[in-house]
Amino acid sequence: MNLFLSSNKNLIILSFLLAILPISLLSGSLIINLITSIISIIFIFELLIKKKLNFLNNWSFYLLLFLWSSFLINLIFSQDSSLSVFRTVGFVRFIILVQVIRYVFLANDTKYKELILKSWLLIFLVVNLDLLIEYFSGKNIFGYKSTIDGRLASFLDDELKIGGYYFGFCLLSLATVYSYFRRDYKTIFGFAISFLIIAFLIGERSNFIKILFSILCVLFFYFKEHKFKLVFLSLICAIIFSTIIYQNENLKYRYFSQWNKNNVKTNIYFTHYKTAILVFKKYPIFGSGIKNFRIEVKKIIEEEFKDDDNYNNSHVITTHPHQINFEILSETGIFGLTCFLIFFLVTFIFAFKKILKKNDFFLIVSTIFCLIYINPILPSGSFFTTYGATIFWTNYGVMVSYLGSKKKLINLVK
């Protein structure tokens, strides 16, 4: 049956919206919110009200409700609820996004899933091409140029966060490549090395480390029989990275000189973590409230570090602590962090059990992404912003899709 001749127009629309989701992430929060809002409206009024989808039989829905409930409780204790209410109530769109991804991926007609994955891969490859053009010419396809030497901007222009986007779709793209070349490990390794090199050229240290570690984990886990070849390829990558750094002073500064200049006391990220701990100490049980860190950090610095240049500057007085776990701790307290950890503990228990039974590539890459995304050490974006949250919950949605069962879904393709 041709995809676009299907009688289930809702499924077609949802598939199309999911297929262009990576484009919306390159277009700004307004477009992202528009796409996710349309997805939510269709899902609620066309699918849930007509009772065509038995989403209540899925554990991921209740687990997401549990996490959302913790945010709603936190809203009661927020220092300024007007700052928290939009992100807290708006979290429901990510619950719906996860369920929509699961619904489409588990539909009986696999063409919907194939359309989405092919589209994501194609868009990701275009971004790769754009990044290479920017690296060699200094400007991307649209003439955008990074405002910081040693960093690439691509389609995001002055918002230097393409590394988070790259991390978000790198593993899923590699899994899609695997679905077409599963017997040709050389092709898969070739794509993996290419992705690593471009991730390195982006110049975002934290995201590069995440991408490097995640790709190595995937390859060594899934291609155990080629472990010696993988070690050899790792050495080749190290030589390539060293050569690039030797020839590029900006990248040398980004990956070595800039880091070596800073010790633990003056490093900007450790300073963020320290201020997050100070906010947590002030509000240990329920935190300061979602999106309230930006206000509380100003108060703390005004009270304790007014004359300390290491704290009293625009890099420290920021909107979030640049580390997910410290953000959760400072804005939702012990209560929120506990619920956060329970949520992921239960999720990963389900994931690991399924991986032991079925060695599925998409399940492995999405699980590894989620694990590395919430690591407690490396810097990161905010867990609650539209951009970062959409990337994360898209991967999470793919993961729970491969944990689900078609038997628990009512067939909508009639």
**Residue 121 token pair:** 């891969």
Q: How many CB atoms lie within 10 A of CB 233?
A: 18
Q: Which amino acid does the sequence have at 31?
A: I
pLDDT of residue 247: 80
Q: How many CB atoms lie within 10 A of CB 35?
A: 21
Residues of the chain short of pLDDT 70, as ranges, are 1-7, 46-56, 256-269, 304-316, 405-414
How far apart CA 111 and CA 78 sit, in angstroms, is 45
Residues whose CB falls within 8 Å of the CB of residue 6, separated by 6 or more in sequence, listed in order? 12, 109, 413
CB 298 within 8 A of CB 317: yes
Cβ burial of 224 (10 Å; 0-12, 13-18, 19+) is: exposed
pLDDT of residue 143: 94
pTM beyond 0.85, yes or no: yes
Phi, psi (degrees; rounded to nearest 5) at 290 = -60, 130
How far apart CA 332 and CA 371 sit, in angstroms, is 21
pLDDT of residue 46: 66
* Alpha helices per DSSP H over 91-161: 92-105, 111-137
**Residue 231 token pair:** 């070690």
- Domain ranges for the chain: 3-264+317-408
pLDDT of residue 94: 95
pLDDT of residue 307: 60
Q: Which 8-state DSSP code applies to residue 79?
A: T
pLDDT of residue 220: 86
Q: What is the separation of C-alpha 226 from the centre of its chain, rounded to a whole number of angstroms? A: 29
